[in-house]
Amino acid sequence: MKSATELDAADPLAPFRDLFVHSSAESDLIYLDGNSLGRQPAAVSEILQRVVHQEWAERLIRGWNEGWLDISRSVGDLIGQLLGAQPGEVILAENTSACLYKVATAALRARPEGKKLVTDSENFPSDIQILESACVSAGANCRVEVVDTTISPDPMTSLLSAIDDSTALVSLSHVSYKLGWRWNLEEVNKAAERCDALVLWDFSHSVGAVPINVAATGVNLAVGCTYKYLNGGPGAPAFIYVRSDQTQLANPVAGWFGSTAPFSFDPSSPPAPGVERFLTGTPHVVSAALIEPGVAMLLEAGMDRVYEKSVALSERFIHLCDERLADAGFEVRSPRNPDQRGSHVALFHPYAQAVGLALIHEQSVIPDFRPPDLLRFGFAPMYTSFTDIDNTVDHIIEVVENGGVDRWRDETPLVP
């Protein structure tokens, strides 16, 4: 195995690391939670300065005619480039939850009543909750079928056996939030298409981490967040992708910003023709503006190179965990096959939360914890180094050997 120093020296993405903010007060911090909240691009403070101190402070209401009105579309198109979408197929709006509700409800309403929505037990729990709400809004006979993929050794077979002629919509997280399981987009889309069902993907854990080509893989509909691997910042707006031929879908929360003429103040103004019809109200201008630098850097780096590094980082971590941590009770629970994995790795330990807290408070390593017994290590290729991987494993061993588990066993933080 090559040394981490050699790999870092040969890493074509290494220069991007310095384009993110690294606090000088914590120069040794190893940040492995970019799958929850990405690091801040250095360019953000200049944009914030411009939007807040020039556009808002000086231009005031004139800002709407000087770029604000189009911001959901312009940043959406930039994200669209990452997804292989056409201009006008991606829009920024609200948050992932609200976007999921809107698109799921629209898709269900476009299908005859009495059909089912298929999802899986590894999906983000709040997504399942929202899909239930969408079913209620869509019609009396609509129901959610949650395929239990947690216990399945072959999730794809379990899922495919649930997709049949009574299916109106399939909705899944492309990469699952806990184990990092990754669905094959094309295989699921084709199976749904054979049953005349639509598929709505949640790209929150995959956009900016693995290559996505919506056109080549037959994706109809998707939503995703911008604060993980896109580094858009806390509470940054989410995005909606609606393929341009899905003209039958209507926004269930229609409002002025989704109409052809918001400033006609006419409630009968028809819906905008493209994905813009899924807008509802005023865009989050300040936070939308902050999404651009993270996406621009990913486009510059190229998703093939980003993914290549993601696999190399994850494979190294898995190898070191198997070799050095198995005897201490740790077990890799994410898929072993990189084709079935996103860019985070879940590690089981009976006292995972205590290990995580000791890493954060005693070792300057930030992973996160998902109950009951998993630590997640997110490898954002734009700023994670191979040395970070080796040092993390050293720190985990230190925690176990120096009694960190006992010191943190009784603590329960507000955000795990």
Ligand X SMILES: Cc1ncc(COP(=O)(O)O)c(C=O)c1O
Taking Cα atoms as reference points, which of 347, 312, 315 lies closest to residue 331? Answer: 347
Q: Which of 93, 225, 289, 312 binds ligand X (CB under 6 A)?
A: 225
In angstroms, the CA 170 to CA 185 distance is 12
Q: Which of residues 284 and 309 has its CB atom nearest to ligand X in the complex?
A: 284
Q: Which residues have C-beta within 8 Å of that of residue 408, sequence separation ≥ 6?
A: 353, 354, 355, 357, 358, 361
In angstroms, the CA 19 to CA 14 distance is 10
| Residue 207 beta carbon to ligand X: minimum distance, rounded to whole angstroms | 11
Task: Choose, from 16, 177, 227, 383, the residue flagged as catalytic.
Answer: 227
Q: Are 226 and 91 in contact (CB under 8 A)?
A: no
Build a one-symbol-per-residue string for 63-102: x at contacts with ligand X by CB under 6 A, - elsewhere. --------------------------------xxx-----
**Type and span of the H or E element at 321:** helix 303-324
376 included as an active-site residue: yes
341 included as an active-site residue: no
With CB atoms as reference, the residue minimizing the distance to ligand X is 97
228 included as an active-site residue: yes
3-state secondary structure 191-203: HHHHCCCEEEEEC
Task: Choose, from 376, 377, 379, 383, the residue flagged as catalytic.
Answer: 376
Q: Which of 11, 202, 276, 368 binds ligand X (CB under 6 A)?
A: 202
Encoding tokens for residue 377?
């290590």
**Type and span of the H or E element at 30:** strand 30-31
409 included as an active-site residue: no
Q: Which of 167, 204, 206, 392 binds ligand X (CB under 6 A)?
A: 204
**Type and span of the H or E element at 399:** helix 386-401
Please work out the total of residues on this chain that contact ligand X, with binding judged by CB under 6 A.
13
Q: Which stretch binds ligand X (CB under 6 A): 14-22, 148-156, 199-207, 214-222?
A: 199-207
Residues counted in the chain: 416
**Footprint (CB under 6 A) of ligand X, residues 9-48:** none
173 binds ligand X (CB under 6 A): yes
Name the phi and psi angles at 34, rounded to 5. Answer: -70, -10
124 binds ligand X (CB under 6 A): yes
CA angle, corner 215, sides to 211 and 221, nearest 5? 90
Cα radius of gyration rounded to whole Å, the chain: 22
Q: Which of residues 222 and 399 has its CB atom nearest to ligand X in the complex?
A: 222
Q: Which of 89, 120, 127, 388 binds ligand X (CB under 6 A)?
A: 127
| Residue 95 beta carbon to ligand X: minimum distance, rounded to whole angstroms | 4
The residues that touch ligand X, with contacts defined as CB under 6 A, are 95-97, 124, 126-127, 173, 177, 202, 204-205, 225, 238
